[in-house]
Amino acid sequence: MILPLIQIAAIVATALILGRWRMNMRRRNAETWESLLSRLRPDWSARELSDHFLWKEGLSATPEDAWKRMEGPKGLWVMYQNARVLLQMADYAAKHCEGVDRLLIETLHSDAMQIRVCVLTALCQYGFTQASEGVRINAFRAASMYTGMAARMTQLMQDHAAGMVPSFVAAM
């Protein structure tokens, strides 16, 4: 008697999950460049960490200095959220632009995941030890990857969608 109920519940749960996934895919496919730009969080910018933010990889700050400039966990959280949006922007560019390098898109996917893992690690460490050396090092790594990802996104847009660059630079 209980086995059929479990089977029905599993089928209903699977149908709900697949329906939600399909709805999210439709919404994602219908997004415009402007809607993606509007989802970038402007409360904090990595411009303060690099002299050539968006144009060249690398930071011009020490881990301690970077921690202060990113305003601690606030900057980490912004990087976490923006990494996902940057990933969706890369997918948008790949979908709407001709001749986009697939390796670059995969690199951007990898960057976004590494940034998110590094940020979560730093935030967990921060929760337990406040601003210890390990937290600052992980935050510095995340910021370094974030500026690198932003520079690669800028290069992707310059090469394949130059008209999108000014709005991207302004939003970042």
Location of structure tokens 């959220």:
81
Express each pLDDT in 53-74 by its tens digit: 666 676 767 788 888 888 888 8
The confidence score (pLDDT) of residue 114 equals 92
Whole-number Å distance between alpha carbons of 10 and 15: 9
**pLDDT for the residue 102:** 84
- Three-state SS at 56: coil
- Average pLDDT estimate for 23-41: 82
Residues 49 and 66 sit within 8 Å (Cβ to Cβ): yes
Q: What's the confidence (pLDDT) of residue 56?
A: 66
Tens digits of residue pLDDT in 92-131: 888 887 788 888 888 988 999 999 999 999 999 888 887 6
Q: Which residues contact 14 (CB under 8 A, 6 or more apart)?
A: none
C-alpha Rg value of the chain to the nearest Å: 19
**Domain residue ranges in the chain:** 1-30, 32-171
pTM for the structure as a whole: 0.76
Q: Is residue 91 pLDDT above 90, yes or no?
A: no
- Rounded Cα gap, residues 32 and 28, in angstroms: 9
Which of 145, 144, 142, 149 shows the shortest CA–CA distance to 124? 142
Q: How many CA atoms lie within 13 A of 130 on its CB side?
A: 0
The amino acid sitting at 96 is H
